[in-house]
Amino acid sequence: MPSHSHFKSQRRVALPGSKRQPFTFGTTQAAETAETITVSVIVPPQEPIKTSTPGTPEGRLSRAEFAKRHGAPADSVRLIEAFAEEFGLKLEAAEELGPCTLRLAGTVAAMQEAFAVTLKRQEVEGTQYRVREGEIQLPEELSGHVVAVLGLDNRPQAKPHFRIAKPHASNTSYTPPQVAQVYGVPAGVTATGQTIGIIELGGGFRQADLNSYFKTLGLTAPTPVTVSVDKGTNSPGTANGADGEVMLDIEVCASVAAGAKIAMYFAPNTDQGFIDAISTAVHDKVNAPEVISISWGGPESSWTAQAMTALDAACQAAGTMGVTITVASGDNGSTDGVAGTANHVDFPASSPHVLACGGTTLKSAAGAITSEVVWNEAALGEGATGGGVSTVFALPAWQSNAGVPAPTASSGGRGVPDVAGDADPSTGYTVLVDGQTMVIGGTSAVAPLWAGLIALANAQNKSSAGFVNPTLYANGEQAFRDITQGNNGGFSAGPGWDACTGLGSPNGKLIIAALAAALRK
């Protein structure tokens, strides 16, 4: 065991990717040094995770096998345990977060000394946040043993990607099963035996609303299981708040994938909470979701590099274990809501280990599509589908023939989105939120739509699809309705893949068949 001053006497080195920009909102005060906080320390796996590929389930790892093969190196754990003891921090159990996440608890004063940071208290509209600036500094001996330290700063990280429809005479709306029908999802099939995990960073649901809503659809209402992550809870509030996101997610995926079990992972809206929620869902041995839906995100530029690396690694782990992750691509067009006219993409949609879901404006009659174009109501202040090219993640091999535009940064190249579906609030989804019938859209509706479709495919094919991107891109145009009209600001739709709607909207029967064929190879 190192001596009492072993780490304190070492030279400090910056943790790569940990630099935080100033939080420029509200008033600043010194942090309460006696407050106790808990941080997540993520270490690299003892064996690197291989990039997920499609194929037969034989090549996948169970959650137990993954933990054994890709767990935390023993020497990293010993060093962090000694480091924690020297600085008066407590190492807490964090098995539910996966094998490479450790929890350290201690006072703000101890955390400041241990990580050589200054924590401040920022108050914005009556809510207090704990923030830091600059880089985390580690004792030299820990260099290479730590991927990320999350939780020192708890500023809001992400936004839900849903939009409530504004009244227009030309508006129309659909129930999720009606959308599924026009997208060719087989009628009368169920997703019994499947579990869909849903990540939420706020809001909540009321079971009475679900019972009422599904009764109107003639379906059995799900009874979602709730999982608390980092003290997050199912906390329903008002229809205009995050409840709209939560209810949209449940009502879309559970009505498309009738019979599926729904597991809700509630976490604080911080980078720590977001990543811990995904890790918990991915490694959950009790509920064991085969599909995970995420409708929250933020511009790549709003994330620290360490947080992006950690979250992407969790998504990569999911594919290795046969879990599909669907993610909304954002509702602010090609700028992703960043001031100025430059193009930005949303993360985690830009992770190369998720299925990024963009948005369309869908019109149908008699159960058939009459028109489908890129969703772009930005001129009316009512949003547009996110999409573009990552400046962080390189072009994946399975996207190399898609015609993705060149990135603006040499490190980037991954094109967003991969697929699309109805997202325009003016052609949105009729849902029930806090007792109110509402029409809601946004790419938040597309992630659970695709999650439901993949859960149906898993049930029909009697095996989880896993990481679906290579299969969907290799299948080409056959399983998709190509969207060729419209733009999201900086990018225009055209034949084949584009940075507005990806490969297009689904032909449900052909998607299920394509995923079945990949499992047989």
Just list the catalytic residues: 245, 249, 444
Q: How far lies 325's CA from each of 282, 433, 469, in Å?
A: 9, 25, 10
Taking the C-alpha atoms of residue 272 and residue 265, their distance in angstroms, rounded to an integer, is 14
3-state SS assignment for residue 218: coil
Peptide bond into 139 cis (omega under 30): no
Judge whether 123 and 30 are in contact, CB under 8 Å: no
Cβ count near 55 (within 10 Å):
16
Take residue 505 and report the two structure tokens written for it.
């909207």
- Tally Cβ neighbours within 10 Å of residue 231: 10
CA atoms in the 13 A half-sphere facing the CB of 375: 39
Which residue type, as a one-letter code, is found at position 180?
Answer: A
Helix residue spans in 321-465 (DSSP H): 446-461
Residues across the chain: 521
**Structure tokens given for 110:** 């101890």
Q: Residue 152: left if φ>0, alpha if ψ -120 to 50, beta else—which one? A: alpha
Element (H, E) at 316: helix 305-320
Cβ neighbours of residue 95 closer than 8 Å, sequence gap 6 or more: none
**Closest CA relative to residue 69, chosen from 77, 61, 78:** 61
376 beta partners: 384
Please say whether the beta carbons of 200 and 224 come within 8 A: no
Per the structure block, which two tokens stand in for 513?
């068949």
Q: Does the CA dihedral 290-295-296-300 come out positive or negative? A: positive
* SS3 label, residue 255: helix
Q: Which residues contact 22 (CB under 8 A, 6 or more apart)?
A: 133
Helix, strand, coil % (nearest 5) of the chain? 30, 25, 45
Q: How far apart are CA 48 and CA 309, in angstroms?
A: 13
CB within 8 A of 485, min separation 6: which ones? 373, 374, 493
Please give the backbone phi and psi of residue 228, each rounded to the nearest 5 degrees, phi first.
Answer: -85, 125
